[in-house]
């Protein structure tokens, strides 16, 4: 099935401006609306939902480059990946040149904090203070932002000092690509925003900008409960031939082909093998083309890259790799190649100049995000996308669109995301949004924050801050006496997961891939199932990290591995619980710490790996037998969990099988099933 995506045109703002622009520049309507909304005293939060390629980055930086009479203040911009931070660093430098504007700015990531701390033999608290000293703009990620605002980096006597200084210094906060995040991240950011507002000055309030697709109902609901006044801004668009009036082209016309791709017929790797000549022909017929292949799995991408290295040897097509297990230098080099094999590392805004795209997708969000990589730049012909989908999705597309139909991206993307009463009428199935998470776990975070302020500052020192923060936070997250009791009795591993932005990685192994020149952390189950590896010592790992100039972070499991290759398939790995779930004293359907997990797999070092796992407490949520049976897929289906939601089948010492979630997934699963009664008449 083929669809024709019409060219998209964005309308320029035609009114007078109170400031100058570089010669030849014009603003899009949404850019001016964002500028005005951010300076409106009756608006606290702005969402810019303009289409991809329409200059949301400029909308974010315009108040800095062209300050209003009453400035917004210094800015912190949080990007979801360090790759995107590097990409945007180049963009900021370009803006500063074009606008003839002088501004100091600083990148801050875990790596930069670790390097400053290590090189100067100081604490991370002191390293961050040095990094932000007198800076007017900081580019960081939401993980670092969360650690600062949740008092993870503290002075010896006051946990809130750095969070307060950071909030006072940066009164304009931007979150880019925030739609990729879910309930835990939304809850964390809302809590941080409540603290920032409580700590702030009403005459000089902090402004928040989210560069995002349409905000989720969870986020909008939380903002309304928190009494944040927000405005959603969209662009003004026309589609098809060039419209009359002052418009600019932002997305080129393209052909979208929907092709069959099922795991039982080889998945994306099998499709590329079957269609290799077609790929070669595209490059032969259209010299100068640039292409991108996006896989769902990093291991699949690794195998596909290895295959194409051989398969394309006889051609002039240069090949690059850009995955989470690709080194920084190799990722940067990949941007210059003719064809790049990638994963979700390129989903979130890295600006590829491509006219040929092949991609898998898991849901409507990833489909839109990945298709959005194509057609952002002029200079190519044609623009071709091939979406690889299972049969049922192709059939659903065919119920909504005819082969060869002309469609505009705006209505097309809206249709893909729309939730309908009859789920069968949706193209992509609805996914669980974990709405109860905010009340279940956000309340504990709020209670803990107040507890730290009371403990270290005393009610007298922080009485104004607590008075401003506590009532509204407890109302937003519905803090009850039960919430407070749970917070007081929270287990260590559960608490670590709750405080982390994307997960603590307690089941991860430090890994080194010498071919990709990459150092990373990989889940132990995936490592055993999908790679050939050998264990190395902690000292060897430290030396490798030092050789690459990368801060060394020890593995929670105390395991360090060198990857030698990636398996053609996935080996079976069995998780064992060395106790009886039914009588170990821990409740079913609740997130709690458990010890004693072991592993069975065909690996020479499995005993050492298994022992390392069994000695560590893990955050877990074990489903009761009536819900889980022996199949995690049952839970996946019943609760409409996202495709990549990680569930494991675990065998306990009675030889009974249970469905278990670990880490962040344990908290999410708990939020859905903690009320479930353990009997035959339970209702979810």
**What tens digit of pLDDT does each residue of 444-487 get?**
999 999 999 988 766 577 888 999 999 999 999 999 999 999 99
Res 170: pLDDT: 96
Question: Which CATH code of 3.40.50.300, 3.30.70.640, 3.10.20.90, 3.40.470.10 fits the domain covering 247-425?
Answer: 3.40.50.300
Res 37: pLDDT: 97
Mean pLDDT of the chain: 92
Mean pLDDT of 518-544: 96
pTM over 0.85: yes
**Residue 338 near residue 289, CB atoms below 8 Å:** yes
Percentage of the chain exceeding pLDDT 90: 78
Res 180: pLDDT: 85
Res 683: pLDDT: 39
Res 59: pLDDT: 97
* Cβ neighbours around 595 below 10 Å, total: 16
Mean pLDDT of 510-515: 95
Res 457: pLDDT: 67
Task: Please spell the DSSP secondary structure of 96-132, one letter per residue.
Answer: HHHTT----EEE--HHHHHHHHHHHT--HHHHHHHHH
Mean pLDDT of 73-87: 90
Residue 681: pLDDT over 70: no
Q: Give 426's contacts (C-beta < 8 A, 6+ positions apart).
A: 396, 418, 419, 420
Q: What is the DSSP letter of 169?
A: H
CATH number of 29-235: 3.40.50.300
Res 682: pLDDT: 41
Please name the helix (run of DSSP H) or strand (run of DSSP E) that holds residue 509, with its range, or none. strand 508-513
Res 569: pLDDT: 85
Res 684: pLDDT: 38
Cα gap 274→536, rounded to integer Å: 39
Res 628: pLDDT: 67
Mean pLDDT of 495-499: 96
**Residue 373 near residue 352, CB atoms below 8 Å:** yes
Cα gap 440→487, rounded to integer Å: 11
List pLDDT tens digits, range 428-443.
988 899 999 999 999 9
* Cβ neighbours around 636 below 10 Å, total: 16
What backbone phi and psi angles, to 5 degrees, belong to 549? 70, 30
Residue whose pair of structure tokens reads 């209505």 in the numeric block: 411
Q: Give 489's contacts (C-beta < 8 A, 6+ positions apart).
A: none
Residue 678: pLDDT over 80: no
* Residue predicted with more confidence, 626 or 572: 572
Residue 246: pLDDT over 90: yes
List pLDDT tens digits, range 557-587.
999 999 999 998 899 999 999 999 999 889 9
Res 560: pLDDT: 98
Percentage of the chain exceeding pLDDT 70: 98
β-pairing, 560-566 with 531-536?
Answer: antiparallel
Res 179: pLDDT: 86
Task: Please spell the DSSP secondary structure of 68-96, one letter per residue.
Answer: -SS---EEEEE-SSHHHHHHHHHHHHHHH
Res 114: pLDDT: 87
Cα of first residue to Cα of last residue in the chain, in angstroms, is 39
Please give the distance of CA 15 from its chain centroid, rounded to a whole number: 37
β-pairing, 291-294 with 356-360?
Answer: parallel
Residue 383: pLDDT over 70: yes
User: Domain residues of the chain, as ranges?
Assistant: 29-235, 247-425, 437-497, 508-673
Res 680: pLDDT: 41
List pLDDT tens digits, range 300-354.
999 999 999 999 999 999 999 999 888 888 888 998 999 999 998 787 756 789 9
Please name the helix (run of DSSP H) or strand (run of DSSP E) that holds residue 541, with its range, or none. helix 538-547
Residue 627: pLDDT over 90: no
Mean pLDDT of 543-555: 92
- Angle, helix 183-199 to helix 443-476, in steps of 10 degrees: 70
Cα gap 512→327, rounded to integer Å: 10
Cα gap 230→209, rounded to integer Å: 10
């Amino acid at each position: 099935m083929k669809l024709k995506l019409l060219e998209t045109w964005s309308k320029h703002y035609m009114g007078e401006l109170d400031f100058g622009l570089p010669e030849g520049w014009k603003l899009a309507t949404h850019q001016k609306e964002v500028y005005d909304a951010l300076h409106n005293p009756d608006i606290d939060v702005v969402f810019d939902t303009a289409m991809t390629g329409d200059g949301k980055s400029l909308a974010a930086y315009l108040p800095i480059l062209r300050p209003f009479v009453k400035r917004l203040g210094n800015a912190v911009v949080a990007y979801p990946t360090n790759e995107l931070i590097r990409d945007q660093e180049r963009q900021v430098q370009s803006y500063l040149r074009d606008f003839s504007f002088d501004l100091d700015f600083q990148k801050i990531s875990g790596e930069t904090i670790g390097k400053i701390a290590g090189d100067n033999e100081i604490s991370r608290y002191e390293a961050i203070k040095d990094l932000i000293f007198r800076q007017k703009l900081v580019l960081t990620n939401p993980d670092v932002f969360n650690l600062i605002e949740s008092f993870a980096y503290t002075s010896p006597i006051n946990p809130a000092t750095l969070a307060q200084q950071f909030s006072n210094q940066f009164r304009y906060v931007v979150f880019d690509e925030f739609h990729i995040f879910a309930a835990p991240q939304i809850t964390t950011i809302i809590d941080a925003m409540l603290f920032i507002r409580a700590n702030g000055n009403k005459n000089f309030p902090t402004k928040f900008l989210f560069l995002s697709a349409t905000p989720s109902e969870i986020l909008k609901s939380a903002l309304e409960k928190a009494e944040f006044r927000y405005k959603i801004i969209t662009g003004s668009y026309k589609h098809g031939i060039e419209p009359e009036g002052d418009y600019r082209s932002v997305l080129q016309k393209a052909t979208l082909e929907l092709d069959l791709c099922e795991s039982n017929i080889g998945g994306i790797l099998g499709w590329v093998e079957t269609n290799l000549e077609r790929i070669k022909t595209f490059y032969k017929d259209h010299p100068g083309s640039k292409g991108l292949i996006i896989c769902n799995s990093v291991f699949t991408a690794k195998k596909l890259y290895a295959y194409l290295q051989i398969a394309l040897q006889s051609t002039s097509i240069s090949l690059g790799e850009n995955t989470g297990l690709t080194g920084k230098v190799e990722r940067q080099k990949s941007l210059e190649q003719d064809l790049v094999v990638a994963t979700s590392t390129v989903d979130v805004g890295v600006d590829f100049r491509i006219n040929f795209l092949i991609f898998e997708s898991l849901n409507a969000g990833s489909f839109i995000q990945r298709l959005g990589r194509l057609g952002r730049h002029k200079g190519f012909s044609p623009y071709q996308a091939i979406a690889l989908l299972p049969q049922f999705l192709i059939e659903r597309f065919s119920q909504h669109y005819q082969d060869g139909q002309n469609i505009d991206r705006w209505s097309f993307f809206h249709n893909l995301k729309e939730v309908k009463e009859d789920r069968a009428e949706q193209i992509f199935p609805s996914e669980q949004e974990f709405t109860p998470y905010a009340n279940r776990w956000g309340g504990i975070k709020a209670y803990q924050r107040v507890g730290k302020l009371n403990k270290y500052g005393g009610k007298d020192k922080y009485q104004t801050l607590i008075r401003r923060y506590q009532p509204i936070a407890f109302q937003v997250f519905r803090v009850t006496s039960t919430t407070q009791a749970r917070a007081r009795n929270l287990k260590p591993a559960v608490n670590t997961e709750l405080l982390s932005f994307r997960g603590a990685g307690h089941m991860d192994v430090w890994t080194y891939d010498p071919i990709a020149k990459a150092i990373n952390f990989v889940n132990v189950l995936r490592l055993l199932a999908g790679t050939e590896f050998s264990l190395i010592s902690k000292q060897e790992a430290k030396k490798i990290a030092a050789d690459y100039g990368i801060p060394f972070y020890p593995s929670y499991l105390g395991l360090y591995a060198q990857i030698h290759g990636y398996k053609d398939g996935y080996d079976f790995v069995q998780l064992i619980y060395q106790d009886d779930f039914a009588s170990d004293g821990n409740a079913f359907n609740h997130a709690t710490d458990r010890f004693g997990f072991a592993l069975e797999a065909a690996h020479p070092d499995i005993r050492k790996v298994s022992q390392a796992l069994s000695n560590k407490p893990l955050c877990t949520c074990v489903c009761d037998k009536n819900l889980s049976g022996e199949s995690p897929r049952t839970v996946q289906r019943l609760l409409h969990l996202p495709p990549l939601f990680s569930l494991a089948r675990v065998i306990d010492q009675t030889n009974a099988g249970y469905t278990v979630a670990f880490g962040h997934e344990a908290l999410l699963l708990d939020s859905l099933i903690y009320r479930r009664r353990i009997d035959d008449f339970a209702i979810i």
